[in-house]
Amino acid sequence: MIKILIVDDHKIFRDGLVSIFEQTPDIAVVGEASNGAQVLNILSTTPTDVILMDINMGQSDGIGTTQIVKEKYPQTKVLMLSMHNESGFIVKSVEAGAVGYLLKNAGKDETIRAIKAVYNGETYYSSEVSSKLLAHINQLNKNKTGVRLTKRETEILQLIAEEYSNPEIAEKLFISIRTVDTHRRNLLEKLGAKNTAGLVKHAIKIGLLDL
């Protein structure tokens, strides 16, 4: 059972999510909060696996709250659920410790899929969010780390973020699976990532994404 906390300052939105998860057998809502203070109060007494965190709340900032949560409760995963699709919000959320970013126009199935992904140690970004983040990689010449990606590596990084498998990437780009695997290993090495799920996050941290 995945224990989740819903954080949003609009009760009608929280009620809608609660209604959805009441019909989902492997997800349980253990609490609701409308601001950062309530989040920390709930976490102090209630074990929570995943937080659905809004960015803008009346009394607090979801990004700042995420930073505190990751410091005090590092095992709790934060999944941003926001109406904002600007890359500035997205990047700041990832830097604060969020492991996923989902837009509020996402459907029920994608929302459940995102929760299960971050619960299982993966990252999750909706396709629009991934595109906005990775579009900045074309400006690699401005980063201060000296990291350079080839055009092909950038294409493969985009497809990895969109959850394509090696065979699917090979078919899409008309190259061999072995070539895709080689590029994937090179990306992990260049970006200092331990696994493919962390590629986007590491790209942000080392300055490849230019805001």
pLDDT tens digit string along 12-23? 999 999 999 998
CA torsion sign for 91, 107, 58, 79 is negative
Whether the CA torsion 186, 192, 197, 200 is positive or negative: it is negative
User: Of 68, 94, 125, which one is at a domain's C-terminal end?
Assistant: 125
Is the same domain home to 142 and 119? Answer: no
Any idea which of 4-8, 71-75, 155-159, 203-207 has the lowest mean pLDDT? Answer: 203-207
Band of pLDDT at residue 209, cut at 50, 70 and 90: very low
Read off the pLDDT band of 85 (50, 70, 90).
confident
Mean pLDDT of 31-36: 94
The number of helix segments (H) and strand segments (E) in the chain equals 10, 6
Per-residue pLDDT for 60 more than 80?
no
Q: Do 121 and 161 share a domain, yes or no?
A: no
- Tell whether 210 is covered by a domain: no
Last residue of a domain, one of 69, 92, 125: 125
179-200 tens-digit pLDDT = 999 998 888 888 878 887 677 6
**Among 165, 84, 162, which residue's Cα sits nearest to residue 127?**
162
The residue segments making up the domain with residue 91 are 2-125
Q: For the chain, give the number of residues.
A: 211
Residues 90 and 34 in one domain: yes
Q: Is 97 left (phi over 0), alpha (psi -120 to 50) or beta?
A: left
Do residue 100 and residue 183 come from a single domain? Answer: no
Domain membership of residue 192 (yes or no) is yes
Structural domain count of the chain: 2
Verify that 112 and 144 share a domain, yes or no: no
- pLDDT computed for residue 162 by the predictor: 75
Give SS3 for 74: coil
**62's tokens:** 């979801």
Query: pTM surpassing 0.85?
Result: no
3 three-class SS? strand
Q: Name the least confident of 5-19, 149-163, 175-189.
A: 149-163
Shared domain check, 150 and 115: no
One domain, residues 82 and 22: yes
20 and 39 inside one domain: yes
